Structure 1
Amino acid sequence: MSSQKLNLLSFSGNIRTLHLTWMAFFITFVVWFNHAPLMVAIRDTLGLDDQQVKTLLILNVALTIPARIVVGMLVDKYGPKIMFSMLLGISSFICFFFAIADSFEQMAVARFMLGFVGAGFVIGIRMISEWFPAKQVGLAEGIYGGWGNFGSAAAAMSLPTLALLFGGEHGWRYAIATTGAVALVYAFIYYNTVSDTPKGSTYFKPKKSGAMEVTSKGDFFLYIVMTVPLYAALALLAWKLSPAGVELLSQNIAYAIYVGLVALFLYQVYHIYQVNKEVFIKEVPEIHRYSFKQVAVLDLAYLATFGSELAVVSMLPLYFSDTFDISAVQAGLLASGFAFMNLVSRPMGGLFSDRLGRKKTLTICITGLAIGYVVLGMITPEWFLVFAVLATMACSFFVQAGEGAVFAVVPLVQRRLTGQIAGMAGAYGNVGAVTFLTVLSLVSAQTFFFVIAGTAVIALIAVQFMDEPRGQMAEILPDGTVQMIDVH
């Protein structure tokens, strides 16, 4: 097998693992975004107002922030096989709960809990990194992420029709419950058909758990700084749900959440110190060092790419419906164009990263998406609908190619920490989504797109500080010997 080509028609070896894993991720995305294309029916059935609808969109991506961090640690420790199977199984029951909810409060709780399913992405990143070498990992991760991410487009295209087939005012409930049933069945299929590593390979685990390992004093403080936005995004969500926002929470509960988040942050800092206090005592040997700066840059790049995709996918069907006065089914199909590009754009982002270089590819992609969002911000009802759809798809190409380029780098930072690095970058995607959706609830859709474009420019500047992965990284085998892993 060449370094450039993957025989995707095969169903053996690492290609088999790739197909089984992207399908698991695909199902998690169908479940995660099964509400978006049905939101018009849900809104009408429960009599929700606009603020309640926007609150459900924000809640859907909130829990994913801590979930991706925690799941990243767990997958590094226990392996992707058991973690993906458990996530699918647990999420199916939360999905059933959402399907039978008959009040805004019940829906809000269910949607918040379903943010957990969004952590599935992190698990597959570690699985694919175990099965593919550095020269193929960008393309393999791109296929995994792109084809799996297509789950949101599949939901947008199929669930309104499925709800119509079930019929009646509760057709949307049966459509959503169906996605939960599929997740439950696939949990058992995945567990019985994959293994964590190729036969004879070692699954490297972190030396300590509870926080990511860093290898210098400067990285220790940068890690703490980069942890702050994860808690700030959750505080922003609490504010949105307080009397200052949609009044789902009382002011006292909101204050209690703020205090709890500060306490959790301090607890996290304590864990970061416990795991990394040795860097203050002695220097880590050069061979075992990695630069946390790489992680910080990838976090910001993913905030601009995936964070914006999550926000836009959530609001686009309703946006098209309101802007161009078309039906919910038509709006869902047209909006799916944004996520539809995942089939080719994420793999192409990974492939370009493998061939052109990691840093150059990220620079091109983020420049493209910044321009793309400026164009989307200029759409008005006077536009021809076909031009609006084409602009959306062009923008989404750069967004998702950028996501592929980010996760072409993630497995090349430090192998034993791949789950945690993927978890943190993934969580930053959700920080972006919560932030952008909160902005959307306060401003017009046009301003919302311009804010994303401005954020992309900041990420573009950060990417210029990233180091191109070169040479090898070192991991220690269980018997104490050092194994070198190519990253170039």
Structure 2
Amino acid sequence: MDIKNKTTSLWSNFFNLNMPQIRAFHMSWFAFFLCFFAWFGIAPLMAVVREELSLTKEQVGWSIIASVTITIFARLAIGWLCDRIGPRLAYTWLLVLGSLPVMGIGLAHDFQTFLIFRLLIGVIGASFVITQYHTSVMFAPNIVGTANATSAGWGNLGGGVTQFVMPLLFGLFVTTMGFSSAMGWRLSMVVAGVVCCLTGIAYYCFTQDTPEGSFKELRAAGKLPSTKKANGEFWAACRDHRVWALFVIYGACFGIELTLNNIAALYFIDYFDLGLATAGMMAASFGLMNLFARTLGGASGDLFGSKWGLRGRVTWLFFALFCEGIALMFFSQMTALAVALPALVVFSLFVQMSEGATFSVVPFVNKKALGAVAGIVGAGGNAGAVAAGFLFKGSLEWPTALLILGGLVTTVAFLAFAVQFDEVAESAAREEYNDAVKCLPRTTRPEPVGELEPVFNA
């Protein structure tokens, strides 16, 4: 898919809402933020839910698995849908329909009904794919890694904000307004669902699919391939081993983040004897690193790409993921809060930089099937979370489970080297990059990319 008029800068136009690219950027990260907030809104309240519904440790584990399972299939479907109807309509329908189970979980009265709603809420996790798709078609190669990472990182920030906002909202309903604990957590989720629904309407009103207009208009003008051809590109993406390597890699970073979002509050309650609100604040420190850490990962991918091409982006991805695994193993062995919290922050830095690094590579794998590639790789994150979730539903102590996950992440890092690009792709990427930087002001224009040198000198 060859989209014209992509913008070559983000920060210099950051507040220029007259640009459709900037409107799409702000609407996509904000929509993803709210989806992430609602997706994991119940996690910091699980201590209350666990007591009311008399949930066992195994049942809590199953709810963790359920929350990320359906998202695998939703992300696969939404990537295909983006290639067909465009990100604007895809996001609108996802937000409006996805808000229903978010509000509906308040009807849960036992483990079975709670599990069903927890499963259905996971559909809104597909919002990530649309966010990455929309920024990928709006931003040029010199800045696409940064734009993708920032929009996703600020969206993931919802997973950190919800860790302390939902307990505060719960406290407002229970302490200030006099509702029972059982009603308090239910009303808190209703608020999250209503905001998601309203944002879906706003997305329809204030965005467009591409800088040139909607997919429908572009197809009518012959500027986009037909939906039938888009289906063929989807299967081509499915046959590409690099896509599946990135699928596993993303499972080792975003999948781990999802797992920590689900267990962090309970982890601090059970292993450090903290209260609900304090544990939520500790858990929030993990998600709040998304404010800059994922952007740092994507920007570093752009920097490595400007110097060493596509293989530079892949090398940076390996380094970030390898350090993530080491940091997770270190955190798992911490028993004192004063050391555990800094260790969690360092781990969070690398896990989110790994995510940004992954999606600084994704836009270059198959441009004709961008939605398919983004959907498959995005689904890998949830597949990783599902696999990790089984470690937390049995008799295994959670620190041991985290240690095992850290070892697996370190091993998966080497899979990055399976993501290779031939000289034709490298040459095309260099040409695209050089064309993009020519549009920048001379004072901010980097050097053009010439023939590539080794990533690291011997």
Shorter-chain TM-score above 0.5 = yes
Give per-residue Cα distances to partners, 1:74-95, cap 9 Å, x unaligned: 1111100001010000111111
Name the counterpart of 1:355.
Answer: 303
| Equivalences, count | 401
Structure 1 pair 418–179 and aligned structure 2 pair: CA distance change class (3 A) = same
The letter for the 1-side match of 2:376 is M
Deviation at 1:210, TM superposition (A): 7.6
CA RMSD of aligned residues (A): 2.2
Q: Secondary structure at the match of 1:147?
A: helix
Which of 53, 62, 78 lines up with 1:46 in the alignment?
Answer: 53
- Counterpart for residue 465 of structure 1: 418
Deviates more, 1:204-213 or 1:331-340: 204-213
Q: CA deviation at 1:295?
A: 1.3
Choose from 214, 234, 239 the match for 2:236. 214
1:375 maps to 330
Cα displacement (A) at 1:410: 1.1
- In structure 1, the residue matched to 2:185 is 172
Q: Distance between the aligned counterparts of 1:159 and 1:82, measured in 2? A: 29
- 1:76/1:417 contact within 8 Å kept: yes
Give the residue type in structure 2 aligned to 1:213.
W
Give the unaligned 5+ runs of structure 2. 1-6, 175-179, 306-312, 430-434, 438-448, 450-458
Give yes or no for contact 1:94–1:110 (8 Å, CA) kept in 2.
yes
Q: Kindly state the Cα deviation for residue 203 of structure 1 after the two structures are TM-superposed.
A: 4.8
The structural deviation recorded for 1:6 is 4.5
What is the one-letter code of the residue matched to 2:386? Answer: V
Amino acid at match of 1:214: A
Q: Which amino acid aligns with 2:149?
A: G
Q: Deviations over 1:133-189 (max 9, x none)?
A: 011100000111000011111111101010110112221111111000001111111
- The whole-number CA distance in structure 1 between the counterparts of 2:295 and 2:13 is 14
How big is the shift at 1:211? 7.5
Q: Quick one: structure 1 residues 173 and 211, their matched pair in 2 at CA, closer, same or farther if it must change by over 3 Å?
A: farther
The answer to whether 1:10 aligns with 2:16 is: yes
Would the alpha carbon gap of residues 166 and 371 (structure 1) be closer, same or farther in structure 2, given more than 3 Å must change? same
Question: Could you say which residue in structure 1 is the equivalent of 2:442?
Answer: none
Any idea what the Cα deviations from partners look like across 1:284-308, whole Å, max 9, x if unmatched? xxxxxxxx23312211210110011
Q: What is the match of residue 373 of structure 2?
A: 421
1:466 Cα deviation (Å)? 2.1
Of residues 324, 328, 341, the one that matches 2:272 is 324
TM-score by length of structure 1 reads 0.78
1:165-204 superposed matches below 5 A: 165-167=172-174, 168-169=180-181, 170-199=183-212, 202-203=223-224
1:133 and 2:137 are equivalent in the alignment? no
1:304 is aligned to 2:252:
yes
Q: How does 1:131-170 map to 2 (within 5 A)?
A: 131-167=138-174, 168-169=180-181, 170=183
* AA at the equivalent of 1:472: A
Judge which range, 353-362 or 73-82, deviates more.
353-362
Aligned to 2:354: 402
Query: CA separation in 1, counterparts of 2:340 and 2:251?
Result: 24
Judge conservation of contact 1:65–1:431 (CA < 8 Å) in 2. Answer: yes
* Counterparts of 2:29 and 2:8, CA distance in 1: 21
Deviations 1:194-232 (A, max 9, x none): 0000126745566142882328xxxx7xx3xxxxxxxxx
Structure-2-length-normalised TM-score: 0.83
Change (3 A) 1:6 1:64: farther
Q: Are 2:10 and 2:147, in contact at CA under 8 Å, matched by a contact in 1?
A: no
Output aligned runs, 1:68-87, within 5 Å: 68-87=75-94
- Aligned-partner residue type, residue 362 of structure 1: L
- Distance in 2 between the 1:296 and 1:349 partners? 21
Question: Structure 1 residues 74 and 4, CA, compared in 2 at 3 Å: closer, same or farther?
Answer: closer
CA contact 1:472–1:486 (8 Å) conserved in 2: no
Q: Is 1:338 aligned to 2:290, yes or no?
A: no
Q: Is the 8 A contact 1:76 1:205 kept in 2?
A: no
User: Could you report, residue by residue, the CA deviation over 1:408-455 in whole angstroms, capped at 9, with x for unpaired residues?
Assistant: 111112223111111111111111101111012232112211222222
Residues 299-318 of structure 1, C-alpha deviation per residue, up to 9 Å, x if partnerless? 12101100111111111100
**Identity among equivalent pairs (%):** 32
From 455, 459, 464, the counterpart of 2:408: 455
Paired residue for 1:479?
A: none
Instruction: Indicate the SS of the match to 2:418.
Output: coil
Provide the residue aligned with 2:453 in structure 1. Answer: none
Name the residue aligned to 1:431: 383
In 1, the alpha carbon distance for the partners of 2:280 and 2:13 equals: 33
Deviation for aligned residue 1:456: 1.4
Task: Provide the C-alpha distance between the structure 2 equivalents of 1:311 and 1:83, rounded to a whole number of angstroms.
Answer: 26
Q: In structure 1, what residue type is equivalent to 2:203?
A: Y
Structure 1 residues not aligned, in runs of 5+:
224-291, 474-484
Q: What amino acid maps onto 1:293 in structure 2?
A: H
CA distance in 2, matches of 1:211, 1:62: 26
